[in-house]
A and B are shown apart, each in its own frame.
Chain A
């Protein structure tokens, strides 16, 4: 075990692993780039609709079914199905495997983003909304001044959940031939190189934990009730 960890250490110490296509910085940036792109697109697709439906307090049944179906669909399978369908895109600027992963990640990220934003806005105390309307806030002001600030922590929680899931799952792009931190795992299994497998897993795990903690911190920062929670402590 000690020997094994020493070998892992030696891998990180080897300058050759820090440059080029297979270098850690290159694969890391590919991994993060794909993650950010797919998160941005799913946020654009999911959040406005979720906020609108939450504000109108409509579509609860839809949300439940989205969650249930979303949880039952294996993302690896989605990638496998989309992959052959995206072969036509292989001529574009992005390498093969990018688009299939991208689409699958968008689909993976949308349910948690949608559900959290939807429930966050919908579950704002109705008495509060009535009081706000009663004072003469317009529909838009009720949304921007009352519902959105109070829903913000939940919206952020949805983004965090989605981001952690996507960071973890982008790893699978390596099986589709698109370089990410998963490439170490993929190549490691192919070459029966346990050290390389471990290095890949470690890198993905560290990235996931950083994402979780970083966005968790951001979530507390945007909490409109932060000041009072802090004061009460």
Chain B
């Protein structure tokens, strides 16, 4: 078994690798983006009504436990065998538990005395949330997004089963043709994408939280 460099060259030139990359990235970004919006809304509900935390984590926990392929199949009767919705609803579902946990923990982790001091200076609750709690919770939130994004990049390789593109197509075709090069390219590109996104989010966190980067002078 050797690597077929010619196949790689051809697919690079013909643009199929580029196209798969775009599709894979699109699925990932949509899933994490929508997941973030939904999680944010649910987290706000949890922060306002703490009693909703248990049921919300219970439901998202169940969604998280259901195997991804099973979740695809449950959505098939609703959206059809090869719909982007079948893929996306499942992908979004998987991000919820991780994101909600991190958002809620991040906001709740802001020290009480900081919030109290802000209130004491006359900040409105809304301003306290936007200017104090949210920035301070950013590291925890981004940590959640990193896990969600890396997991999603991996799961998108399975959306080929419900007729979507992305690197999964290389893997599936590689299996079908028992062709190492194609499966390997699909796998490595998925790993690469996960790493790049993860590093990018780390960088974003550094830029967004300058107060956490500078050390006290020795």
Contacts and interface: CB of A to CB of B under 8 A. Distances in A.
A209 B65 contact: yes
Interface string A69-103: 10111111111110111010000000000000000
B151 interface: yes
Contact of A176 (B1, B71, B175): B175
Given A76-B171, A175-B172, A205 B66 contact: yes
Nearest to B193: A72
Nearest to B161: A189
Contact of B175 (A1, A73, A79, A168): A79
Interface residues of B, number: 43
Given A71-B154, A75-B154, A201-B74, A85 B180 contact: yes
B65 A77 contact: no
A58 interface: no
Interface residues of A, number: 43
B1 A85 contact: yes
A167 interface: yes
Contacts of B171: 74, 76-77, 80
A8 B172 CA distance: 28
B183 A81 contact: yes
Contact of B186 (A75, A77, A172, A176): A77
Contacts, number: 138
Contact of A84 (B67, B157, B180): B180
A206 to B, nearest CB: 9
Nearest to A82: B183
Nearest to A72: B194
If over half of A's interface residues share one DSSP class (helix, strand or loop), that class is named, otherwise mixed; here it is: helix
A202 B71 CA distance: 9
Interface in B120-158: 147, 150-151, 153-155, 157-158
B81 interface: yes
A209 B63 CA distance: 11
Counting chain A CB atoms within 10 Å of each CB, the highest count among B70, B151, B186, B188 belongs to B70
B40 interface: no
A72 B150 CA distance: 6
Contacts of A77: 157, 167, 171, 183, 186-188, 190-191
The 4 nearest A-B residue pairs measured at CB = A201-B73, A77-B187, A168-B67, A80-B183
Interface of A: 1, 4, 68-69, 71-81, 83-85, 87, 164, 167-169, 171-172, 175-176, 182, 185, 188-189, 192, 194, 197-198, 200-202, 204-205, 208-209, 212
25 contacts: A1-B77, A69-B191, A71-B154, A71-B194, A72-B150, A73-B154, A74-B190, A77-B186, A79-B175, A80-B172, A80-B184, A81-B174, A81-B180, A83-B175, A85-B1, A87-B178, A175-B172, A176-B175, A185-B73, A189-B162, A198-B76, A201-B76, A205-B67, A205-B70, A205-B74
